[in-house]
C-alpha cells in the first residue's frame, strides 16, 4: 500500500497534465485553423477588389499591364500579412495602390490599404480621431474649395474617397481595440469574482465549522481529555484540508475549472462534508447516485453548493438533522439540502453564501431555489443541466 498509493497519485497527476497539454494543443489547432480561413477569405476579397478596380482599367501596353498585375499582387500580399505585420502590410498596400493610381492603372480608393490600416489601428491605435486624420480632412477641404482644375474632377473625388476610406478604417480599428480591451477587462473582473466566490466557500465552511467545534469544546465543562484531543484533531484535519484546497485553488486561478480544482473525488468530498456536519452535532444523511462520472464543472458546483449549504446550516439554522441528496442522470444533476432548523436563514449571513450558489448555478444554465419548508426547516435545491453526450466524457 505504501508503494501503490504514491505511484497511483503520480499516474493521475501525469494523466491530468497530459489532458491539459492535449486540450491546449487542440485549442491552438482550432485557433490556427480559424485564422487561416479568415486570412483566405480576406485574400479572396482583396483579389476581387483588384479584379474589379484594377484589372478592369485598360493598360496602354503589355509592360504597364504586367506592372498593374504586379502592383495588385503586392497590395493583396499586404492584406494577407496584416494580422502578422500590420505596419509592413499597410506600407505595401498603400505604396502599391498610390503608384498604380499615379500610373492610371487603378481606381481603388485605398480600400486594400484601409484594410491593412485597420489592423494597425486595432493593435496600436489609441484615439479614433488621430491627428493625421485632421490633416487629411483639411487637405480634402482645400482641394475641393480652392483647386478647380478642368478635367481633374475624377482624380480629386478619388483622393477624397481615399481619405474617407483611411479615416474610417482607422476609426473602426480603434473601436475594435477598445472592444477587445473591454472584453479583457470584463474577463478579469469575472475571474476575480470567481476567485472571491471560491475563497469564500472554502474559508466560510472551514472557519465556521472550526468556530462551532471550538465553541462546543469551550462550553462543555465535563469534556474529558480524550474528547478534547479528538475535537482538536478534527479541527486540525479540517484546517489542513482547507489550506490545501485554498493553495490548489490559488494555483489554478488562470486555468479553467478541471479535475485539479478538487482535492479528492466528489463522493469522498460529500462524505467529508456530511462528517463535518455530524461532528458539529447535526445528524446527517447523504444519498448520492450516479455522480462518479460527472463533468468537472458539475462536480465542482455540486461540491460547493453542498458544502456552503451545510456550512450555513451549522452556523445559523440551529438544526439537529440534515438530509443531502445528489442525483445525476444523463440530462441533469439535482442537488437538495434540507434541515429541520429555524427556516429562512438568508438574513443571518447577509445572503452572500446563497448569492454565490446562485451564481454558480447560473453559470451552468441551471435553476436554484431556496426557502422555508412546509414542515419547518430550510431547503436548498439546484438543478444543473447536462449537455447531450456530456455525461461521463470527462474521464
Residue by residue, what is the 3-state secondary structure of 145-182?
HHCCCCCCHHHHHHHHHHHHHHHHHHHHHHHHHHHHHH
C-alpha span between 394 and 149 (Å, rounded): 73
Q: What is the DSSP letter of 263?
A: S
Instruction: Give me the pLDDT at residue 2, please.
Output: 32
Comparing 16 with 275, the larger pLDDT belongs to 275
Between β-strands 378-385 and 332-339, what pairing exists: parallel, antiparallel or unpaired?
A: antiparallel
447560473: which residue's cell? 362
Per-residue pLDDT for 350 more than 70? Answer: no
C-alpha span between 209 and 236 (Å, rounded): 12
Main-chain dihedrals φ then ψ at residue 256, nearest 5 degrees: -75, 160
Q: Which is it for the CA torsion 377, 309, 305, 395, positive or negative?
A: negative
Res. 34 pLDDT band, cuts 50 70 90:
confident
Res. 16 pLDDT band, cuts 50 70 90:
very low
Main-chain dihedrals φ then ψ at residue 20, nearest 5 degrees: -65, -45
Question: Minimal CA–CA distance to 167: which of 199, 197, 138?
Answer: 138
Instruction: Give me the pLDDT at residue 234, please.
Output: 73
Element (H, E) at 85: none
Q: Among the listed ranges 2-6, 22-26, 305-309, 356-360, which one has the minimum average pLDDT value?
A: 2-6
Q: What is the pLDDT of residues 113-133, one digit of tens each?
A: 999 999 998 888 877 776 666
pTM confidence score: 0.52
294-368-275-9 Cα dihedral, nearest 10 degrees: 30
SS3 category, 342: coil
Q: What is the pLDDT of residues 59-89, one digit of tens each?
A: 889 999 999 999 999 999 999 999 899 999 9
Instruction: Give me the pLDDT at residue 395, please.
Output: 43
Q: What is the pLDDT of residues 84-94, one digit of tens each?
A: 999 999 999 99
* Average pLDDT over every residue of 286-312: 88
Q: Over pLDDT 70: what percentage of the chain?
A: 70
In whole numbers, what is the pLDDT of the chain averaged over residues? 77
C-alpha span between 73 and 291 (Å, rounded): 60
Question: 75-93: string of b/e by CB count within 10 Å (b at 16+)?
Answer: bbbbbbbbbeebeebbebb
SS3 category, 265: coil
For the sheet with 283-289, list strands across it. 283-289, 321-328, 332-339, 378-385, 367-372
Per-residue pLDDT for 307 more than 80? Answer: yes
Looking from the CA of 12 toward its CB, the CA atoms found within 13 Å total 12
Per-residue pLDDT for 394 more than 50? Answer: no
CB 113 within 8 Å of CB 166 = yes
- Tell me the three cell numbers of residue 106: 487603378
Per-residue pLDDT for 367 more than 90? Answer: yes
446550516: which residue's cell? 313
C-alpha span between 282 and 112 (Å, rounded): 72
C-alpha span between 8 and 17 (Å, rounded): 14
Res. 179 pLDDT band, cuts 50 70 90:
confident
DSSP-assigned states of every residue in 205-245:
HHHHHHHHHHHHHHH-TT--HHHHHHHHHHHHHHHHHHHHH
Amino acid at each position: 500500500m505504501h508503494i501503490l498509493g504514491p505511484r497511483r497519485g503520480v499516474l493521475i497527476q501525469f494523466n491530468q497534465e497530459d489532458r491539459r497539454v492535449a486540450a491546449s494543443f487542440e485549442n491552438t489547432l482550432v485557433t490556427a485553423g480559424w485564422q487561416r480561413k479568415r486570412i483566405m477569405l480576406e485574400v479572396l476579397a482583396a483579389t476581387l477588389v483588384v479584379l474589379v478596380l484594377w484589372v478592369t482599367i485598360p493598360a496602354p501596353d503589355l509592360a504597364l499591364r504586367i506592372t498593374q498585375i504586379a502592383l495588385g499582387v503586392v497590395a493583396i500580399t499586404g492584406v494577407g500579412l496584416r494580422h502578422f505585420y500590420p505596419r509592413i502590410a499597410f506600407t505595401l498596400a498603400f505604396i502599391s495602390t498610390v503608384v498604380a493610381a499615379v500610373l492610371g492603372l487603378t481606381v481603388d480608393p485605398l480600400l486594400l490599404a484601409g484594410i491593412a490600416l485597420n489592423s494597425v489601428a486595432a493593435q496600436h491605435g489609441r484615439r479614433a480621431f488621430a491627428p493625421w486624420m485632421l490633416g487629411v480632412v483639411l487637405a480634402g477641404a482645400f482641394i475641393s474649395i480652392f483647386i478647380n482644375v478642368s478635367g481633374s474632377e475624377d482624380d480629386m473625388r478619388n483622393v477624397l474617397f481615399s481619405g474617407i476610406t483611411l479615416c474610417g478604417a482607422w476609426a473602426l480599428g480603434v473601436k475594435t481595440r477598445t472592444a477587445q480591451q473591454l472584453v479583457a477587462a470584463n474577463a478579469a473582473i469575472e475571474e476575480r469574482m470567481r476567485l472571491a466566490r471560491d475563497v469564500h466557500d472554502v474559508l466560510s465552511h472551514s472557519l465556521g465549522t472550526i468556530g462551532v467545534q471550538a465553541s462546543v469544546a469551550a462550553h462543555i465543562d465535563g469534556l474529558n481529555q480524550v474528547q478534547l484531543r479528538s475535537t482538536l484533531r478534527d479541527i486540525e484535519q479540517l484546517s489542513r484540508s482547507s489550506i490545501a484546497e485554498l493553495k490548489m485553488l490559488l494555483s489554478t486561478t488562470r486555468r479553467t475549472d478541471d479535475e485539479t480544482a478538487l482535492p479528492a473525488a466528489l463522493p469522498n468530498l460529500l462524505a467529508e462534508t456530511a462528517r463535518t456536519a455530524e461532528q458539529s452535532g447535526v445528524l446527517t444523511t447523504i444519498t448520492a447516485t450516479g455522480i462518479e462520472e460527472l463533468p468537472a464543472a458539475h462536480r465542482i458546483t455540486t461540491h460547493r453548493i453542498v458544502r456552503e449549504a451545510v456550512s450555513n446550516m451549522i452556523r445559523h439554522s440551529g438544526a439537529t438533522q440534515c438530509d443531502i441528496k445528489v442525483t445525476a442522470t444523463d440530462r441533469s444533476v439535482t442537488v437538495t439540502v434540507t434541515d429541520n432548523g429555524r427556516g429562512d436563514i438568508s438574513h443571518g449571513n447577509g445572503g452572500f453564501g446563497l448569492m454565490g450558489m446562485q451564481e454558480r448555478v447560473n453559470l451552468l444554465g441551471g435553476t436554484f431555489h431556496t426557502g422555508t419548508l412546509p414542515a419547518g426547516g430550510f431547503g436548498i435545491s439546484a438543478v444543473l443541466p447536462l449537455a447531450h453526450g456530456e455525461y461521463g466524457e470527462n474521464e
